[in-house]
Chains A and B, each alone.
Chain A
Amino acid sequence: MAQTTAHRRLLGEYKALSTNPPEGITAGPVSEDDMFVWEALIQGPEGTPFEGGIFPAELKFPRDYPLAPPKMTFLGEIFHPNVYTNGVVCISILHPPGDDPNQYEHASERWSPIQSVEKILISVMSMLAEPNDESPANIEAAKMWRENRADYEQRVRDGVRRMLGL
């Protein structure tokens, strides 16, 4: 059954992420009653305005995972060119190979069953450090990033502190 395949795979990934977590990433199912809804915390990469920040996100997996990619949504405020204002993350690894809305991504960058939650989260982490100018999801952030880097960085830093309740 497809569902048990997805379930087994997700449990395996959860185990790998728990026993050998990548630096700055915590991820797992919100509750094991539903393995298809995860939450993840991503640390802001060092040397970027996101440094020191913790960004929570929700991952929703389709029933046919890993054939189809999960959907990732940041839960808190995050000001970034590739994140929609509603938190939805726009990154090539989350796009299935057949579905290329922007016609520029290489198939190898897009989702395939050989990718994993860990790879998604690492990609998102590096996306925080290096926004992709070609696919702006948040136009305001993209414009500010391009034209007024200092203001963009200040805004990101303020957001980081607010998220930590400071």
Chain B
Amino acid sequence: MADEQVSLTSLVLIVVLGGLVIRYLFFPSSAAGPEAYRGRDSAASSRAREAAVERIQQMFPQLDRRAILWELQRSGGNMAATTERILSGRMETPPVTFQPPPPPRSTTPSSTSQTAKAPLRPAEPDLITRYKLQDKINYDSGSSSSVAGQESAVPGTKTKAWSSNRDERQTAFQRRRDEMILAARRKMEAKIAAEKAAASGKE
């Protein structure tokens, strides 16, 4: 009986302490206010600021970054107050002396609109390089079915079969993929050769 009571009080204590910890971790601004927001270590606060700027920019794409940052600073980083001020048309033009920090260099994309604007990727390798098909091109050029014939030697494992073994499935998938690329390449090679023949025939 005594044991049970002890565990009950400690349980209540844990719940209360847990609640406090959660409150401390997740709602720091409500308790500490804007000063704490600015006082945090700079990396975290700049990240929070950029997130706020981005969200406001999504709501009001016509606003520039500088104006948003100025309004955010005026309201002590409070997003709700900032959006309310923008909506009610009580925005101020930032003074000339206001020098906002530059936007960070490509942070991890957090929204689709950002990935959409991502810079051009470096030139992609072609399919032959990507799937390492160089060897297969060469010895495949003679007889078109040599690769397929060699690997699907087991009867019944035609390309469309579904194996219960995942490794076999993986192999079958890769084989279908490679065959599709090689077949397209062969066709294109033939087409280019035909075009060349036609061109030289005209001369």
Q: Is the CB–CB distance between B180 and A86 below 8 Å?
A: no
Q: B118: which A residues are within 8 A, CB to CB?
A: 84, 86
- Which residue of chain A is the closest to B133 with respect to CB atoms? A165
CB-defined A-B contacts under 8 Å, sample of 16: A18-B173, A41-B177, A41-B180, A41-B181, A52-B184, A52-B188, A54-B180, A75-B124, A75-B130, A76-B127, A77-B123, A86-B118, A101-B113, A161-B192, A164-B184, A166-B192
Q: Is the CB–CB distance between A164 and B127 below 8 Å?
A: yes
Which stretch of B27-35, B82-90, B93-101, B160-168 is in the interface? B160-168
Q: B115: which A residues are within 8 A, CB to CB?
A: 86, 88
CB proximity of A38 to chain B, nearest CB, Å: 10
- Which residue of chain A is the closest to B187 with respect to CB atoms? A52
From 57 to 87 in chain A, residues with beta carbon under 8 angstroms from any chain B beta carbon are: 71, 75-77, 84-87
CB proximity of A153 to chain B, nearest CB, Å: 15
Query: Given A54-B180, A164-B184, do A31 and B127 touch, yes or no (CB 8 Å)?
Result: no
CB proximity of B6 to chain A, nearest CB, Å: 36
Q: Does B62 contact A (CB under 8 A)?
A: no
Q: Is the CB–CB distance between B176 and A26 below 8 Å?
A: yes
- Which residue of chain B is the closest to A85 with respect to CB atoms? B120
A54 to B172, CA, bound (A): 19
